[in-house]
Amino acid sequence: MFETALTYNDLMFLAKGAGMTLMVTAISVFIGTVLGIIFGVFRYQVGALWAMPLTFVLDVFRSIPLLIQLVLANAFITTVLKIKVSGLTVACGVLSLYTAAYCAEIVRGGIEAVPLPLRRAARSLGMTWGQDMTSVVMPLATRVALPSWIGLALGVMKDSALVYIVQVVELLKSTQILITRLQEPLFLLMICGLFYFVISFPIARFGGYLEKRWSND
Amino acid sequence: MKSSILAAGLVAATCATPAMADKLDDIISAGVLRCAVVLDFPPMGSRDADNNPIGFDVDYCNDLAAALGVTAEVVETTFPERIPSLMSGSVDVVVGSTSDTLERAKTVGMTMPYYAFENAVVVSEKSGITDEAGMQGKTVGATAGTYEAIWLEEKVKEWGAGEFRPYQNQADVFLALSQGQLDATVSTMEVAQANVKTGNFPGISIVAKADMVPDYVALVTLREEYGLLNFMNLFINQQVRTGRYAELYTKWVGEGEPANLTIPGVYR
Amino acid sequence: MFNYNFRWNQALNSLPQMLEGALVTMEIAILSMVIGIIVAILLTVCRISGYRSLSAIATTWVEIARNTPALFQIYMVHFGLGSFGIHLSPYISLLLGIAFNNAGYLAENYRGALKAIPDTQTRSARSLGMSAPQAFVHVVMPQMLRISFLPMTNQMVWAILMTSLGAVVAMNTDLYGVTSALNALTFRTFELFAIAAVIFYVITKVITLSARLLAARMFRY
């Protein structure tokens, strides 16, 4: 039943695609989180009105399909501006901003969850804004935000399946390449799906565990 | 004062036109020719057991690179992504069995034909279709953005019945056909024969030659790159003249007379 | 300024076709959401039913939907079921693929919402003479839907965005399908996709806004 023409070489080929998926995810989540924290703090600090332009731009990233963002960014940078960049760069750039757009919301939610009297108390104890942010707000906000952030990171990993459109050969694309040659679509897709599942499931469960543990005290 | 110098410098930097080197020069000085090739389109492009690119188009790209005295880099692309990848500068030329339609020539530059396909009607055996007319009113499909797809979609509109489905790649079309999701497709004879022969798609067969103008395919590069277009036109001529064209035909397609690339009664 | 000739005219000529596609996109998003909500409620019932096999099926569904890419799920609906002889049209494949995904995420939201509803409510409903299904439908479910309303609007937005994945199953009548078909003909990638992006943005805003209005009516008390 499990006869397959899949060779060791093909498995390595898939592994390379999986490596690409993980790399794109890691880069985008890292840059996106840093940007997301900056945007989130900025939005909270200057108030809804002044942050409106930023809010609007971030909202655009959450209201247009990632596939279209990728095609459009690629067409704009390479065809209109004629800047020579690799598909990987475009993919990471778009995914980073996409991550940042969601992350900013999570960060803002986290900061808002910290009770104001607590922060006033911190400031009246003589803490500077920076000290208040790093020693009071950050630890508390992280507790609120981390489970959603884990969900976001996993979402980005799954969404990275779309970067094939800018010629990046990641896991799903390498699976399709093998399907074309070996014509065993179901078997190969199962392997591919299983890979995503194996990475995503334990981390998602861990996120759920944190959420449960931290909400009880 | 300082800022105005800076500003002037910026303006100079942004406006400075690069030396008059065109793409042909760029390729030769870079030492690399990047070809977009479609690799799910045997015998024109596919992958061997080590997942390396092989096929008629891959060899053609290698020959072109050799003629330019550079090394070839094959960049895999899908049919819908061929021209965008060229326009975005991620490849230099498309050696991807690109039909020379007028609509495309508005955006990119086409050489003279380097190959010509006959098209075949391929059917799912369950459908009971035996000829081209039998496709009327059935569910048909082809690879999005190809000559056959555009032709089939027109046909479906003309019939006013049936359904047209554009799949993302050739493999998905044959898979859908083999599963019985499609009743029929039109695909280039060479590709249809190669795919039926693999035995990977049970339940499909070639029933007839499609009654359409042969699908002349050209090498493609940017519209304004006359130097490169000129070079490639001569290259295609030389491939035929030296017998390399016939050699590649025998290697990838089979015995027989390779397709005629000229059209009687008209230049070019 | 740009060394690129924009041809907005050529792209704008196709606007009527694209707007028709936009209607199909909205239709799929809304239908997939309706199916998703119904299935998610069923999955939630299965998970709290106490029957191990039902709960296992529901949990498997939720975990697969949440832990694999949506693109993969849609492809599997079309070609996966296809290899078992179940042939679905591109429209239905895309609809069911998105509904599968919606149901998984929503069921997880509902489970979270259920935790916020005190057990005592069910017990008092039961002691008032309601049957277990009655207690669920009349007491628990309305609150569950209200608590998870915000995640539901988010999922609605995702459902709209997910319609763009239909190309893998040869979907060509939705907004993304129409745009990429036009792109294959004319190669005005930037112009066409910029217009598509604007339309998508408007659809998302219109749908979230109407969802909010609907909620304001439904959950008023």
Domain assignments of chain A as residue spans, ordered by start: 8-215
The three-class DSSP label of residue B148 is helix
Distance CA A141, CA A144 (A): 5
Query: ipTM value of the model?
Result: 0.86
Do C32 and C159 touch, CB atoms closer than 8 A?
yes
| CATH 1.10.3720.10 matches A8-215 | yes
pLDDT > 50? residue C1? no
pLDDT band at B250 (very low <50, low <70, confident <90, very high): very high
Residue in chain C closest to B15 (alpha carbons) equals: C1
Out of B46, B89, B200, name the one closest to residue A82 (CB).
Answer: B89
Domain count, chain C: 1
Shortest distance between the Cα of A122 and any Cα of chain C, in A, equals: 31
What was the pLDDT predicted at C26? 95
Instruction: Give the distance, in angstroms, between the CA of residue C97 and the centroid of all CA atoms in the same chain.
Output: 9
The runs of H, that is alpha helices, within chain C are 8-12, 15-48, 52-67, 70-75, 81-82, 90-115, 119-127, 132-135, 141-147, 149-162, 175-186, 189-218
CATH code for B119-209? 3.40.190.10
Mean pLDDT of A91-103: 96
Distance CA A95, CA C132 (A): 46
Highest mean pLDDT out of B140-149, B259-268, C18-27? C18-27
pLDDT band at A20 (very low <50, low <70, confident <90, very high): very high
What was the pLDDT predicted at B18? 47
What was the pLDDT predicted at B1? 45
- Asked if the structure places residue C1 within a domain, the reply is no
Q: How many A×B Cβ pairs under 8 Å?
A: 57
Distance CA B155, CA B145 (A): 15
Whether residue B214 is preceded by a cis peptide bond, meaning omega within 30 degrees of 0, is no
Contact residues on chain C for A192, CB-CB shorter than 8 A: 72
Distance CA B71, CA B73 (A): 7
Exposure b/e, C40-64, CB count within 10 A at least 16 = b: bbebbbbbbeeeeebeeebbebbbb
Distance CA C150, CA C105 (A): 13
Would you give the end-to-end CA distance of chain C in angstroms? 57
Ranges of each domain in chain B = 21-116+215-252, 119-209
- Asked if the structure places residue C72 within a domain, the reply is yes
Out of A65, A192, A204, name the one closest to residue C72 (CB).
Answer: A192
pLDDT band at C96 (very low <50, low <70, confident <90, very high): very high
Structural fold of domain B21-116+215-252: D-Maltodextrin-Binding Protein; domain 2 (3.40.190)
Long-range own/partner contacts, residues C146-154 (CB < 8 A, 24 or more apart): C146/C219, C147/C113, C147/C116, C147/C117, C148/C106, C148/C109, C148/C110, C148/C112, C148/C113, C149/C215, C149/C219, C151/C105, C151/C106, C151/C109, C152/C37, C152/C106, C152/C109, C152/C211, C153/C208, C153/C211, C153/C212, C153/C215
The runs of H, that is alpha helices, within B88-169 are 102-105, 147-159
The three-class DSSP label of residue B152 is helix
Mean pLDDT of A91-112: 94
Q: What are phi and psi of B88, to 5 degrees?
A: -85, 0
**DSSP character at residue B256:** S
Highest mean pLDDT out of A185-199, C25-39, C79-93? C25-39
What was the pLDDT predicted at A216? 57
Of C164, C78, C105, C63, the closest CA to residue A196 belongs to: C63
- Asked if the structure places residue C205 within a domain, the reply is yes
Contact residues on chain C for A68, CB-CB shorter than 8 A: 164, 176, 179, 193, 196-197, 200
pLDDT > 60? residue B3? no
Of A86, A92, A103, A88, the closest CA to residue A148 belongs to: A103
Distance CA A39, CA A101 (A): 8
Query: Percentage of residues in chain A with pLDDT exceeding 70?
Result: 97
CB–CB contact A86 B169 (8 Å): no
What was the pLDDT predicted at B4? 55
What was the pLDDT predicted at B53? 93
What was the pLDDT predicted at A78? 81
Instruction: Give the distance, in angstroms, between the CA of residue C220 and the centroid of all CA atoms in the same chain.
Output: 25
Q: Does B143 touch chain A (CB under 8 A)?
A: no
Helix axes A87-112, A52-63, angle to 10 degrees: 120
Distance CA B209, CA B217 (A): 18
